[in-house]
Amino acid sequence: MFSVSEWFHWIDLAGVAVFAISGTLMAYRKYMDGFGVIVLAAVTAIGGGTLRDMILDSPVFWVHDPSFFYVILIAAIGTIVWLRYYSSFPLRYLLIADAFGLAFFNVMGLQKALAFGATPFVAIALGTMTGVFGGLLRDVICREIPLVLKGELYATTCIFGGAVYVAASWLNLHADIVMLAALLSTLLSRLASMRWNWHLPVFPVHGENEQ
């Protein structure tokens, strides 16, 4: 039987794999070479956690654990092989898997930030950063408007999940219940935003040629 920490590690690796596939698909769209594929897959998969650890002045999580890079390589190569035989990837399932990875990375970032003494507000920000920053870097490198800045609710679901985590902690609920509540609130709000196309509109719809 696996211990709780071992389960967390395997789930963490699964999230890394999902984000690495996302980066590989973007590299495919942009006709990148093999090196570009690996770079984009790695940036997407571990960019958020790397920045979080640097801000916390903590040892970066992948420096002494090569398993993260093995997973990135396997996910990237597997996606390349798939695209050799098929012209597309089942995006719907990838987005669902991405929602699970986003929720888990958000909670892991929250927990680590709080363990290092961050205030709740900063912890929520770092949890959100852990979940979304890799994808933001991916899109910036590819000269795309980052997904986190458009489309259905994305970063907002991490903020919501973080607020639930902090509120549940203040209620002195069991640590497992706090984590589960934050995971589910992030995951379900992300899935709901995908299903019903939820947005946070600010500007009215306007044409490109309006003065």
Q: How many domains does the chain have?
A: 1
pTM metric for this prediction: 0.88
| Residue-range definition of the domain harbouring residue 156 | 4-196
pLDDT at 207 over 70: no
- 159-199 pLDDT tens trace: 999 999 999 999 999 988 998 999 999 999 999 999 998 88
pLDDT band at 116 (very low <50, low <70, confident <90, very high): very high
- 125-157 pLDDT tens trace: 999 999 999 999 999 999 988 878 877 799 999
In a domain, 210, yes or no: no
Identify which of 139, 118, 119 has the alpha carbon closest to the alpha carbon of residue 23.
139
In a domain, 209, yes or no: no
In a domain, 207, yes or no: no
In a domain, 27, yes or no: yes
In the 3-class helix/strand/coil scheme, how is the chain assigned residue by residue?
A: CCCHHHHHHHHHHHHHHHHHHHHHHHHHHCCCCHHHHHHHHHHHHHHHHHHHHHHCCCCCCCCCCCHHHHHHHHHHHHHHHHHHHCCCCCHHHHHHHHHHHHHHHHHHHHHHHHHCCCCHHHHHHHHHHHHHHHHHHHHHHCCCCCHHHCCCCCHHHHHHHHHHHHHHHHCCCCHHHHHHHHHHHHHHHHHHHHHHCCCCCCCCCCCCCCC
In a domain, 201, yes or no: no
In a domain, 93, yes or no: yes
In a domain, 211, yes or no: no
Instruction: Output the pLDDT for position 176.
Output: 85
Instruction: Output the pLDDT for position 52.
Output: 95
- 29-57 pLDDT tens trace: 899 999 999 999 999 999 999 999 999 99
- 63-92 pLDDT tens trace: 989 999 999 999 999 999 998 888 777 778
In a domain, 126, yes or no: yes
Instruction: Output the pLDDT for position 154.
Output: 92
Instruction: Output the pLDDT for position 92.
Output: 80
